[in-house]
Amino acid sequence: MKISINNKRIDRNKKLAQITLYGSLALLSIGFIWTIRNPEPSKIFVGYLILIPAFLLVQVSIYMANRWGKSPRPDEIVAQALKGLNDKYTLYSYTTGIPHLLVGPVGAWIINPYHQSGEISYDQSKKKYIQKGGGNFISKYFSQEGLPNITKDVAALKKDFIAYLENRSIQFEEDPEVINIFYSENTLLKTNNAPDVNLKSEKLKEFIRKYVKKTKTSVEIIELLQKQLPMAK
């Protein structure tokens, strides 16, 4: 498998994740110290003006750390999950307007990774994904272990990829597919009734190899798309 990856973006965001973390910790320290030293009602408001932005910055730093600061990063996990595919496939990470895109004999697939754990199911009546377990309220809220809106994420990824193609006048008439992968060992998927493909990361390569046998996307269309996308290594 060939890989096209934006290393400059990764390095930049790794540094930004560190800066955000140190900045949030510094603000929290300043806010707590101010609040302790100035308990008067007239002055404690200033402490809140420091602590509230600090709390928001902590949330940003956690998000940045999960995506860019920890190893293996999501791009490394996706690449590892697909390792072993032949050179007819190309994985594009952060180079096509979306985080992860696989183009090859299966067509064009958007790979959408999640680190959240617990039991993941799909509620057809509410048209949303449900998470049971996977930590308590504190870890879900403060450590961002809670499941985001997957349906909204999928729609946004498709829209962003289509916009990327249109902005560069890249011809590809087929609708992109999305695979949601979960890479925590503590995730249990019960999503057979979901409108999207949902897999544990270790099952991704097997799924791709099985799906290629029934795809109708022509070789010419895929090769043309690959020629128009950023060069792979």
Residue labelled with tokens 């979901």: 194
Q: Where does the chain have alpha helices with state H? A: 7-37, 41-64, 74-82, 137-142, 150-167, 204-211, 219-228
- Beta-carbon contacts of 129 under 8 Å, excluding residues fewer than 6 positions away, are 120, 121, 122, 123, 147, 149, 150, 151, 191, 194
Return the pLDDT at 160. 96
Residue labelled with tokens 């302790």: 36
Domain boundaries, the chain: 2-69, 74-228
Q: Count of CB atoms within 10 A of residue 19's CB? A: 12
Chunk the chain into consecutive blocks of 10 residues (it has 233) and report each block's average pLDDT, rounded to whole numbers: 94 91 88 83 79 85 84 94 95 96 93 94 93 68 74 96 93 88 94 95 94 79 90 78
pTM to 2 decimals?
A: 0.85
Residue pLDDT, tens place only, 35-72? 888 877 777 788 778 888 888 888 888 888 888 888 89
Residue pLDDT, tens place only, 114-128? 999 999 999 999 999
Considering only CA atoms, which of 186, 209, 222 is closest in space to residue 83? 209
Q: Are 91 and 6 in contact (CB under 8 A)?
A: no
Distance CA 172, CA 174 (A): 6
Return the pLDDT at 140. 54
Return the pLDDT at 143. 53
